[in-house]
Amino acid sequence: MFVPEGGRLVPTVSIVKDDYCYPYLVELGVSKSVGLSSKHICAFDGTGTLLLQVIGGFWQFNKKRTMYNSFGHPIITMRRKAHQEWIVHSGERVEGSNLLYSVKKAESFQLKTKLEIFLSTNTNTHLCDFRVIGSYTSQSFKVYKGETVVAEVKEKSKLRRLGTGSFQARIYPGIDYAFIVSLLVIFTEIDF
């Protein structure tokens, strides 16, 4: 069960698209499954309706993952750029001017997993736009914009040996839930 942090207000933050921002709290169930040749992550609303699906090859060298909306249209593509750095583009292409943001691990050796997110409009490479702080062992984390928590993700069950798991994501009002699901995908991949 989540315990919300103090009643802080955060303005609407659309990273992927305005369609994924709601003026109310969004709670998602997220499931992860791994097959012999691919990985799938699906995000569902409280009624069990599929909202987002992330698909990527299990053996791909560049670790590319594509997120699709409920109609099967690609909305973003995440690709590992370096061992602990990912880039995210809109649509299916990972080249050109459609870069949305990059994610990198803050430090090589850390007790807690800390990720820094830099939006494509950020020209200051020393000051990130968002931070993720969490625990790799429990697969849970919080997303911060400045000092304000804008989303929380907690692992509900772990069956890592079988390649599956489920998560609960709580996205605060005005925050892009497709962005938060993409951070979950990267968080679960970044240490591998």
Question: Which string of b and e fits 94-129 if b means at least 16 CB within 10 Å?
Answer: beeeeebbbbbbeeeeeeebebbbbebeeeeeeebb
pLDDT value at residue 2: 39
pTM flag (> 0.85): yes
Along the 192 residues of the chain, how does pLDDT read in single tens digits?
334 455 555 578 899 999 999 999 999 999 988 765 567 889 999 999 999 999 887 655 558 899 999 999 999 999 988 778 899 999 987 677 789 999 998 876 667 789 999 999 988 878 999 999 998 777 789 999 999 999 999 988 655 545 567 899 999 999 999 999 999 999 888 754
Residues in the chain: 192
Superfamily of domain 31-189: LURP1-related (2.40.160.200)
Domain boundaries, the chain: 31-189
